[in-house]
Amino acid sequence: MISKSIYEILPSVYLMLGSSSVIWNDNSLGLLGGALLFILGAVIWVMRSNYRRTDEHKLPSKSFTLPETLYEFVPFLFIGLGLSLLSQFSQLPIYIVAAVCLYRGTQLLYLRHRHRNFAWDNNNKRKSRSSAHANR
């Protein structure tokens, strides 16, 4: 059995290894392997994130909404687009667009992370709750 600390960081490791393979690999097999590793990391991240969701799922009041499956992968689509732009082009405007995509994808992941209960946060949350409760 795999230890909990390794288990928790595996999706992040898959995402980082896939990203680095896409950016620094020139052959098509390396790009394909990196893309598959990135997609695998994203799928595992979304599955764990949905399982640990603490906010209640509400139907949005907007007239147009993305399907739930696509919605969950939007941050990874932004990050993947930014990484592919960085690896394929070398003009300044493309770098700016890639940076904006990477920023937005990271921002969306952070916002979702705030509403999901990840194991590496559990100890900190418990400590802050118990110290707040003890101060009363």
Backbone angles phi, psi at 63, to 5 degrees: -75, -30
C-alpha span between 22 and 8 (Å, rounded): 23
C-alpha span between 108 and 111 (Å, rounded): 5
Across the range 64-76, mean pLDDT stands at 82
| Most confident option among 11-15, 64-68, 96-100, 118-122 | 96-100
Query: Between these two residues, 61 and 82, which has the higher pLDDT value?
Result: 82
Task: Give me the percent of the chain exceeding a pLDDT of 90.
Answer: 30
C-alpha span between 16 and 59 (Å, rounded): 33
pTM (two decimals): 0.70
Query: Between these two residues, 38 and 121, which has the higher pLDDT value?
Result: 38
| DSSP secondary structure string for all residues of 27-69 | SHHHHHHHHHHHHHHHHHHHHHHHHTB-SPP---SSS----HH
The average confidence (pLDDT) of the chain is 80
Across the range 71-100, mean pLDDT stands at 90
pLDDT at 122 over 70: no
C-alpha span between 129 and 15 (Å, rounded): 32
